[in-house]
Amino acid sequence: MDLTTYDTIQNFIGGSFHPPRSGNYIDNINPATGEIMGKIPDSNGRDIDEAVAAAKRAFPEWSVTSAEKRFYILNRIAELIEEQLEALALAETHDNGKPLWLSKRVDIPRASANFRFFATGIMHFAAESHIMEDKAVNYTLRQPIGIVGCISPWNLPLYLFTWKIAPALAAGNCVIAKPSEVTPVTAYLLSLICKEAGLPDGVLNIVHGTGTVTGEAIVKHPDIKAVSFTGSTRAGERIASLAAPKFKKLSLELGGKNPNIIFSDCDWEKMMKTTIQSSFSNQGEICLCGSRILIEESIYEKFKKEFVERTKELIVGDPLDENSKQGAIVSKVHYEKILRCIDTAKQEGGKVLCGGNAVKGKGRCANGYFIGPTIIEGLGPNCQTNQEEIFGPVVTLQSFRTEEEALQLANVTSYGLAATIWTQDISKANRVAAKVESGIIWVNCWLLRDLRTPFGGMKNSGVGREGGWEALRFFTEAKNVCVQL
């Protein structure tokens, strides 16, 4: 298994590697250098048809394979990911632009953890029974759905890809998966790992290509009964419009515009250190990053001064350099979008306190896509900058006087993914947590993840929850059997 060569990657269908039916490929760019690092299949509906045919052949056996055997294979995949950490982390960094230390510490270990978590989870997964006194016993079967689609974004490539695939496979489904065309490499390397781990042919099929062609072919395919999607709200809306008339099961994990609510009684040092991370980790390209920082008025100036000073210390540069805290923005298109958003913020009257510009990379990174961590103040809650997701290293500061005002500001957007609350008053924390319209709330911490907890957003941030039993329930069909006594 060679995980160091990925200049021309192929689709993984029926357990073997195939070029796209169209014969066309898309350039894959390393965002830290701006250079072409390889080619990826530009697949279409015919590739998806072949993948579905392979999945159909595999499903009868996989769906009745014992939980113990499924555990064994999925756990082996987890072990191989762990063993191949260095190669996978390097590939992720070349493809995405994130610092290598981050790929090594977070992305790849979490991809392995996802497989291990659902491998062991399926051994404990059970369904309910309901007894009607002396009349009847109901028991619920949780059967695999059949063939399911998994579509993932570019920000945490292998991490989010495996977060969907692992529960889908553990539950006994066959999967047609598509990673983002912007960061396809580790998904391709995962196909090599799955083969090595002994996953039967056709159980997992990984097809590469664009969202509008390959992705929509997955969503529209009549034999794909459920779709789990993570990505932008705009694409989620389109997918929902295609899937709803076909009554497909849908899980949508979408965008966010997350508030960070900071009260004056917080643990200052912990809050400051974590707020730097929740603002700029992974170049701000995490759906859970807090992009609207709401600060109690009495500490606003103190917060601003220290936050700006500490942000200016973050080194932006070559993701292979251990000292770089910020790597490259994932693509030229996204880099230009973020710079446009910063211009919009200025036009709206925002004052840029730090960053706000492209940063010129050094040496091999001279043509890379780098943006300095950016802090903006002076904007109202309803302007575009405070309403629309930027998904980059850009945060705004707003102040509030009362708890009610903090809640109003927090809830004013159409999104509802995550929120962070900083206070040492536990009653206040609980009160505010109950009223913030977000699916995920962190109190005095950020990104502390227990994989058993429900994960997902409210409002325009999504439909459904991933994680733990939620994911295994999503990837199974509940069938009630009522037996009269």
Active site residue: 181, 253, 285, 377, which one? 253
Q: Which is nearer to ligand NAD, 171 or 330 (CB)?
A: 330
Closest CB 414 distance from ligand NAD, rounded Å: 13
- Angle at which helix 67-83 crosses helix 85-96, to 10 degrees, equals 70
Q: How far is the CB of 478 from ligand NAD (least distance, A)?
A: 24
Rank residues 224 and 261 by Cβ distance to ligand NAD and give the closer one: 224
Detail the DSSP E strand segments found in 31-126. Answer: 35-41
Are the C-beta atoms of 156 and 282 separated by less than 8 Å?
A: yes
Based on CB atoms, which residue is closest to ligand NAD, 77 or 417? 417
Q: Which is nearer to ligand NAD, 93 or 461 (CB)?
A: 461
Does residue 42 belong to the site contacting ligand NAD (CB under 6 A)?
Answer: no
150, 194, 287, 365: which is the annotated catalytic residue? 287
Distance of CA 442 to the CA centre of its chain: 17
Site string for ligand NAD, 279-308 (x = CB under 6 A): --------x---------------------
3-state secondary structure of 286: coil
Q: Are 386 and 226 in contact (CB under 8 A)?
A: no
Site string for ligand NAD, 151-170 (x = CB under 6 A): xxxxx----x----------
The half-sphere exposure of 220 on its side-chain side, counting CA atoms within 13 A, is 13
Q: Any catalytic annotation for residue 287?
A: yes
User: DSSP assignment, residue 62?
Assistant: H
Q: Which residues contact 300 (CB under 8 A, 6 or more apart)?
A: 397, 399
**Total residues contacting ligand NAD (rule CB under 6 A)?**
31
CA 317, CA 448: separation in Å to the nearest integer? Answer: 27
- Cβ 253 to ligand NAD, closest distance in Å? 3
Are 148 and 168 within 8 A, CB to CB? yes
**Which of 46/479 has CB closer to ligand NAD?**
46
Backbone torsions φ then ψ of 261, nearest 5 degrees: -100, 115
Residue 430 binds ligand NAD, judged by CB under 6 A = no
Query: Looking at 101, 391, 422, 475, which residue binds ligand NAD (CB under 6 A)?
Result: 391
Least distance CB 212 / ligand NAD (angstroms): 5
Query: Within 182-241, which residues bind ligand NAD (CB under 6 A)?
Result: 210-212, 215-216, 219, 230-232, 235, 238-239
* 112 burial type by CB count under 10 A (0-12 exposed, 13-18 middle, 19+ buried): buried
- Note whether 457 binds ligand NAD by CB under 6 A: yes
Among 256, 319, 372, 416, binds ligand NAD (CB under 6 A): 256
> Is the dihedral angle over the CA atoms 154, 331, 92, 110 positive or is it negative?
negative
Binding mask 403-422 for ligand NAD (x = CB under 6 A): --------------x-----
Stretch that binds ligand NAD, among 103-111, 173-181, 199-207, 379-387 (CB under 6 A): 173-181
Angstrom distance (rounded) from CA 256 to CA 238: 17
The nearest distance, CB 154 to ligand NAD, in angstroms, is 4
- Tell me whether residue 345 is exposed, middle or buried, using C-beta atoms within 10 angstroms of its C-beta: 0 to 12, 13 to 18, 19 or more: buried
Report in angstroms how near the CB of residue 389 gets to ligand NAD at its nearest: 5
The Cα–Cα gap between 222 and 209 comes to 19
The strand pairing partners of 161, in sequence order, are none
Residues making contact with ligand NAD (CB under 6 A): 151-155, 160, 178, 180-181, 210-212, 215-216, 219, 230-232, 235, 238-239, 253-256, 287, 389, 391, 417, 457, 462
The catalytic residue positions are 253, 287
